[in-house]
Structure 1
Amino acid sequence: MGRKRTGRFWRCAAIALAVATGGHAAWAQSVPVGGGVVQGPGTPGPIKRGKAPGYDFQDQYIGIPGKSVADNMEPMIDHPDQTAEVGKKLADLQRKTGKKPNIIVFLMDDVGWMDFGFNGGGVTLGAPTPDVDKVAAQGLVLTSAYSQPSCSPSRATILTGQLPIHHGLLRPPMYGEAGGLNGKPTIASMLSAQGYVTQAIGKWHVGENEGSQPQNAGFDDFRGFLSVSDMYTEWRDPNFNPEVALSPTRSRLIEEAPFNKYDVHAAKGGKIENVGLITVDYSRDLDQRWANYAVDFLKRQKGGSKPFFLYYGTRGCHFDNYPNAFYAGRSPARNDYTDCLVEMNDIFARLYKTLEETGEIDNTMIVFTSDNGPEQEIDPHGRTPFRGGKGSTWEGGVRVPTFVYWKGMIGPRKSDGLFDFADILPTSLSLAGVKGAAMGEKMGAGNYLDGVDQTSFLLADNGASNRRSILYFWNTQFAAVRMDEFKFTMLTQDPYAMTPNGNHGGFTGTVSQTAGGTMFNLYANPQEDNSVAIRHLPIAIPVGAEIARYQQVLRKYPPKVQIGFTTGK
């Protein structure tokens, strides 16, 4: 970043914090380090400590400092009791199976928090998802799981364990734009080093340059496409882009643009091989083609001596959805988005059934989620009960439908404990045997690990989150921080500011700074339309101080930009 942009970044964040906390930004410096140990009774409900009035509750950490793990790792909340409980669980399982656990990340595209039945959607919205809901009901449903505002930043966060401000993919690269992983250590390369078979299937979209392609980012094998669904079809479809599709000159311009237009395959260290040109017709069956590939992969792992990591990114339900003959009209709502949701349910069911048939279900942790909130510029689209959508840092843009399933290891429950996509990498590493400060060493000098190890949260019978806060960024700008039920906001997106008519999502409108004292209680006001900061300064001060803490992190590990928006760089 240039000096001018960096200065602006620090100045905006510092002013917002100073106003909100009455000039007490230094408060964060007085918080003792090395804390973060929380001892609870291990049972649901309130925690009564001493004779003070009221109760403390699990997963509420305002007033509890984080525990430092390593200089280049995010502090965490330590729960010794649940860590010991989970350690015994995992040791017993490994003695039984003789190998480390398998890990699957099932990542959908643009699916909203409320689309699936386990969060109130499903049949209610004319898109029944019975198989997904059944598995979710047997696992841990995370009601406060967070992505990034859009797909490429989210995917890079899963792969690197870093927030976009550190991995540098601040928005999706489109139509041949540069921007990618550029040799960063990834979850795949780290798990591969621990003896895992690593497979990526489906949407990639974290850079098409050779060094950022999956076969060069730690994966043994890849089948999918390198970019995003609409980029292959929208310019071919005269219903959406007649100005291109019906102009030979303009069509040729896109055909010659420097991006791969194929469904591809690649083996580790090899070159991309084109499998099929992605036309409108080809895209109708793309998710089924990938599902077939995944089923074949899982069957090959049956009885294998090595554990596997499967990173599965669906094409659906990113616009434009072109249902195949079997799924067209298959949802009661009968639109292409809800038809796609039904297909996603069936694809997940196929993978789950294959795990059962191969005998790997007992030794496999499944993380089921979506890369961001619902896109809202193009109808029909997904649904969220929260304000905003994809492209914004409102809750609707970044709070995503998520559950974690592991038969016999995770009991059925719901938790509002905080979970970030960055946590997937350190949690997976921990399951593979790399723990504590060793994770920071694996990241390498100069790389900050924004994720925290959530193994004990996920696997303990009544596990509490090990994450103290959620940090929201829009481009290079610090937008907000959440601690417990409170969200302190410095930057907002107003989709109606310039275009009062039409569909409005996170990519439409303007971005503006708050006056400095904007804080929402997400329990009382999930729509984020009533600030409580001034009345609740005793909360706003410590929540705002979390911003100052992370500013110090960014001074040691500066922001990086591979690709971003012009505004606010």
Structure 2
Amino acid sequence: MKQKPFIRRTLLAAALLITLGLPAGAQQTDYQNQVKNPRGSTTGPTDAPGYDHPNQYLHLQATEIADNMEPVIVHSSEVKNAQEKLAAMEKKTGKKPNILIFLTDDVGWLDYGFNGGGVAVGNPTPNIDKIANQGLILTSAYSTPSCSPTRVTIMTGQNPLHHGVLRPPMYGEPGGLDGKTTLANILKKLGYRTQGVGKWHMGENKGSLPQNVGFDDYYGFLGVSDMYTEWRDVYFNPEVALSPERFKMMEKLGFNHYNVHCTPEKGAENLYEIDLESIQNLDQDWAAYSENFLDEMKGSDQPFFLYHATRAAHFDNYPNHEFAGKSPARTVFSDGIVEIDDIFGRLVKKLEENGQLDNTLIIFGSDNGPEMEVPPHGRSPFRGGKGSSWEGGVRVPTFVYWKDVIEPRKSDGLFDYADIFNTCISVAGKPGAEVASFLPEDRYTDGVDQVPFIFADEGQSTRKSRIYTLNAHVSAVRVDEFKMHFVVELQDAIFSRGFTGGFSGSVVTETGGATATNLYTNPGEDISDGIRHLPITIPLGDEATRYNKVLAKYPPNIQVVMPGRIK
């Protein structure tokens, strides 16, 4: 005779009680008191202690320091340790530290040796690797999906939804910084000499030019490499280069065709036209200009801010003759990486020769992941590339260095390029919420002060979450090793061979609602863990809800739209 389910359960429970040495008639509460399995599995409890790791904050509530600023994770002892270090250095040197931001173009997470690339992928980077390994290598540092938005993020401490530049303005389109208070503005007010060199690409309209947003001097070009060359090259664009009338159209198009020199006194002066010959020498010219600036500042009581942005390795690459074929890979991209390494080494050597290295904070990075649609290009171990908010598009090679001040180490603590704004201002003497004193009350700051993370021995990130943006969307949120997706790019949704991703993919505005990935176990982002790990998914959704409330109170201010032209 078949037993009823409740009879079977009763008999099984009695058998279990007897096995455990308890009388079959013992009260249920006695059984619960003696047999506990708060964590483990159905096979029994575990006595494994488990571990809490640094930079994991899913269980923590971030602290709000100002209504118009991102909340932070406060590590009081690390704040104290970092501030003591900075105070000691200022007492020793008699001034605030110099700041060098060295920003490369379209370089992937795996292109430099300090992240496992370099010689392994045919472009050795010994100078960069040496300094990186003496500093703090940030394995989870994030740019935006493309170059202009990232550059404006660095200068404003805002993500693209707040600063409004969703894509690069091209061929003289308006839009950019457009009069915003920038990192250069604020450092200048704090006593710094502000020098910019190299690629600008933050707007060509008057309010966006370097001399009008805080730079004492700027030497470089206002756009991006391919804007000067692609229509000239009979191999890449014969339909323009070999059409006299179309070629004439490009010559007359309203963008600046020159390497320029910008000062508040004289404005933007055109120096020489950029063509297929002069572009080969731009990075060398810019490197020499930065070296001359460092010589000029030698022995000065005034601290300096040097923003050096390279042209290589953005397509189209025309290597300098000295570096053509110098990389073992012998591609124009890898040759550009080798040239970048040489230039970085030159600047570090100049700092050392001038006695400036001991008091200079160096921040090294890339404006986005590799351009995956125009080979040869960079490499990333992650999914996607430039133009997407998959990890490959926005997770970029980054380190910070200050000789004998920053403890050499690697950390996977979250770091957003918006944090460069807050951190540099903090180093210059205005930590935490004090940055708000330079900004309008209705301007939201997405960056956080990472001084405790960078300078404290074994410091941890002060950032709980990382908000991803894609075009006009909040596309994802990361907390700890988990990332929840709301808007994604489907790389092969439009073109059958568009699998590499980038600007030509399809943007899907809604995912399934519980689309989440574990970036430790699945860095390729091709498996969703959202349903299996709901205890993680729900807090991720809560963090997205928090930021949506921020956007409701401090709405997006879109200038350069995607797709199409400027609004």
| Same fold at TM > 0.5 | yes
1:465-509: per-residue Cα shift (whole Å, max 9, x none)? 000111001111110000000000011111211211267331112
Amino acid of the residue matched to residue 566 of structure 1? P
Are residues 1:167 and 2:163 paired? yes
Displacement of 1:85 after TM fit? Answer: 0.7
Give the equivalent residue in structure 2 for 1:556. Answer: 553
Task: Report the 3-state secondary structure (helix = DSSP H, G, I; strand = E; otherwise coil) of the residue aligned with 1:272.
Answer: strand
Give the equivalent residue in structure 1 for 2:533. Answer: 536
Partners of 1:216 and 1:269 within 8 A in 2: no
For 1:460 and 1:334, locate their aligned partners in 2 and report how far apart those are by CA, in whole Å: 41
Are residues 1:520 and 2:517 paired? yes
For 1:323 and 1:454, locate their aligned partners in 2 and report how far apart those are by CA, in whole Å: 36
Are residues 1:222 and 2:254 paired? no
Task: Report the 3-state secondary structure (helix = DSSP H, G, I; strand = E; otherwise coil) of the residue aligned with 1:113.
Answer: coil
For 1:53 and 1:470, locate their aligned partners in 2 and report how far apart those are by CA, in whole Å: 29
Partners of 1:182 and 1:211 within 8 A in 2: yes
Please give the residue correspondences for 1:466-485 in structure 2 after superposition, counting only pairs within 5 Å.
466-485=462-481
Are residues 1:565 and 2:554 paired? no
Are residues 1:259 and 2:249 paired? no
For 1:163 and 1:489, locate their aligned partners in 2 and report how far apart those are by CA, in whole Å: 17
Displacement of 1:255 after TM fit? Answer: 1.1
81 and 122 in structure 1: CA distance in 2 versus 1, 3 angstrom threshold: same
Give the equivalent residue in structure 2 for 1:378. Answer: 374
Partners of 1:378 and 1:503 within 8 A in 2: no
Please give the residue correspondences for 1:125-140 in structure 2 after superposition, counting only pairs within 5 Å.
125-140=121-136
Computing the radius of gyration from Cα coordinates, the structure with the larger value is: 2
Partners of 1:170 and 1:476 within 8 A in 2: yes
Are residues 1:153 and 2:149 paired? yes
Displacement of 1:53 after TM fit? Answer: 4.4
1:207-226: per-residue Cα shift (whole Å, max 9, x none)? 10011001111000000000
Displacement of 1:179 after TM fit? Answer: 1.0
Partners of 1:377 and 1:503 within 8 A in 2: no
Give the equivalent residue in structure 2 for 1:448. Answer: 444
Task: Report the 3-state secondary structure (helix = DSSP H, G, I; strand = E; otherwise coil) of the residue aligned with 2:404.
Answer: coil
For 2:505 and 2:418, locate their aligned partners in 1 and report how far apart those are by CA, in whole Å: 28
Displacement of 1:541 after TM fit? Answer: 0.5
For 1:96 and 1:332, locate their aligned partners in 2 and report how far apart those are by CA, in whole Å: 44
179 and 352 in structure 1: CA distance in 2 versus 1, 3 angstrom threshold: same
Which is bigger in relative contact order (C-alpha 8 A, separation at least 6)? 1
Displacement of 1:517 after TM fit? Answer: 1.2
For 1:444 and 1:502, locate their aligned partners in 2 and report how far apart those are by CA, in whole Å: 43
Give the equivalent residue in structure 1 for 2:544. Answer: 547
For 2:324 and 2:48, locate their aligned partners in 1 and report how far apart those are by CA, in whole Å: 60
For 2:381 and 2:48, locate their aligned partners in 1 and report how far apart those are by CA, in whole Å: 36
For 1:240 and 1:503, locate their aligned partners in 2 and report how far apart those are by CA, in whole Å: 21
Task: Report the 3-state secondary structure (helix = DSSP H, G, I; strand = E; otherwise coil) of the residue aligned with 2:137.
Answer: strand
Partners of 1:495 and 1:507 within 8 A in 2: no
Give the equivalent residue in structure 1 for 2:484. Answer: 488
1:85-127: per-residue Cα shift (whole Å, max 9, x none)? 1111111111110000011110000000000111111111111
Give the equivalent residue in structure 1 for 2:104. Answer: 108
For 2:346 and 2:363, locate their aligned partners in 1 and report how far apart those are by CA, in whole Å: 16
For 2:564 and 2:63, locate their aligned partners in 1 and report how far apart those are by CA, in whole Å: 35
503 and 519 in structure 1: CA distance in 2 versus 1, 3 angstrom threshold: closer
Return 5+ residue gaps in structure 1 as ranges. 1-50
Q: 2:61 aligns with which of 65, 76, 86?
A: 65
Amino acid of the residue matched to residue 511 of structure 2? T
Amino acid of the residue matched to residue 504 of structure 2? T
For 1:536 and 1:505, locate their aligned partners in 2 and report how far apart those are by CA, in whole Å: 28
Partners of 2:157 and 2:421 within 8 A in 1: yes
52 and 83 in structure 1: CA distance in 2 versus 1, 3 angstrom threshold: farther
Displacement of 1:437 after TM fit? Answer: 2.3
Give the equivalent residue in structure 2 for 1:47. Answer: none
Task: Report the 3-state secondary structure (helix = DSSP H, G, I; strand = E; otherwise coil) of the residue aligned with 2:72.
Answer: coil
Give the equivalent residue in structure 1 for 2:11. Answer: none
Which segment is superposed worse, 357-366 or 498-507?
Answer: 498-507
Amino acid of the residue matched to residue 338 of structure 1? S
For 2:129 and 2:351, locate their aligned partners in 1 and report how far apart those are by CA, in whole Å: 17
Amino acid of the residue matched to residue 364 of structure 1? T
For 2:280 and 2:419, locate their aligned partners in 1 and report how far apart those are by CA, in whole Å: 33
Amino acid of the residue matched to residue 173 of structure 2? E
Task: Report the 3-state secondary structure (helix = DSSP H, G, I; strand = E; otherwise coil) of the residue aligned with 2:262.
Answer: strand
Are residues 1:96 and 2:92 paired? yes
Task: Report the 3-state secondary structure (helix = DSSP H, G, I; strand = E; otherwise coil) of the residue aligned with 1:331.
Answer: coil
Are residues 1:423 and 2:433 paired? no
Partners of 1:142 and 1:402 within 8 A in 2: yes
Please give the residue correspondences for 1:113-128 in structure 2 after superposition, counting only pairs within 5 Å.
113-128=109-124
Displacement of 1:177 after TM fit? Answer: 1.2
Task: Report the 3-state secondary structure (helix = DSSP H, G, I; strand = E; otherwise coil) of the residue aligned with 2:365.
Answer: strand
Partners of 1:443 and 1:449 within 8 A in 2: no
Are residues 1:361 and 2:357 paired? yes
Amino acid of the residue matched to residue 408 of structure 1? D
For 1:502 and 1:451, locate their aligned partners in 2 and report how far apart those are by CA, in whole Å: 33
Please give the residue correspondences for 1:46-445 in structure 2 after superposition, counting only pairs within 5 Å.
53-445=49-441
Task: Report the 3-state secondary structure (helix = DSSP H, G, I; strand = E; otherwise coil) of the residue aligned with 2:511.
Answer: strand
Partners of 2:148 and 2:201 within 8 A in 1: yes
For 1:324 and 1:567, locate their aligned partners in 2 and report how far apart those are by CA, in whole Å: 35
Partners of 1:182 and 1:212 within 8 A in 2: yes
Give the equivalent residue in structure 1 for 2:44. Answer: none
97 and 389 in structure 1: CA distance in 2 versus 1, 3 angstrom threshold: same
Task: Report the 3-state secondary structure (helix = DSSP H, G, I; strand = E; otherwise coil) of the residue aligned with 2:247.
Answer: helix
61 and 503 in structure 1: CA distance in 2 versus 1, 3 angstrom threshold: closer
For 1:437 and 1:381, locate their aligned partners in 2 and report how far apart those are by CA, in whole Å: 40
1:3-40: per-residue Cα shift (whole Å, max 9, x none)? xxxxxxxxxxxxxxxxxxxxxxxxxxxxxxxxxxxxxx
Displacement of 1:441 after TM fit? Answer: 2.2
For 1:431 and 1:123, locate their aligned partners in 2 and report how far apart those are by CA, in whole Å: 34
For 1:443 and 1:241, locate their aligned partners in 2 and report how far apart those are by CA, in whole Å: 45
Displacement of 1:566 after TM fit? Answer: 3.4
Partners of 2:492 and 2:498 within 8 A in 1: no
Which segment is superposed worse, 434-443 or 359-368?
Answer: 434-443
Partners of 1:422 and 1:450 within 8 A in 2: yes
Partners of 1:105 and 1:310 within 8 A in 2: yes
1:347-396: per-residue Cα shift (whole Å, max 9, x none)? 00000000000101010000000000000010100000000000000000
Partners of 1:147 and 1:154 within 8 A in 2: yes
Displacement of 1:256 after TM fit? Answer: 1.1
> How big is the alpha-carbon RMSD for the aligned residues of Structure 1 and Structure 2?
1.4
Displacement of 1:158 after TM fit? Answer: 0.1
Partners of 2:476 and 2:487 within 8 A in 1: yes
Partners of 2:492 and 2:499 within 8 A in 1: no
Identity %: 58
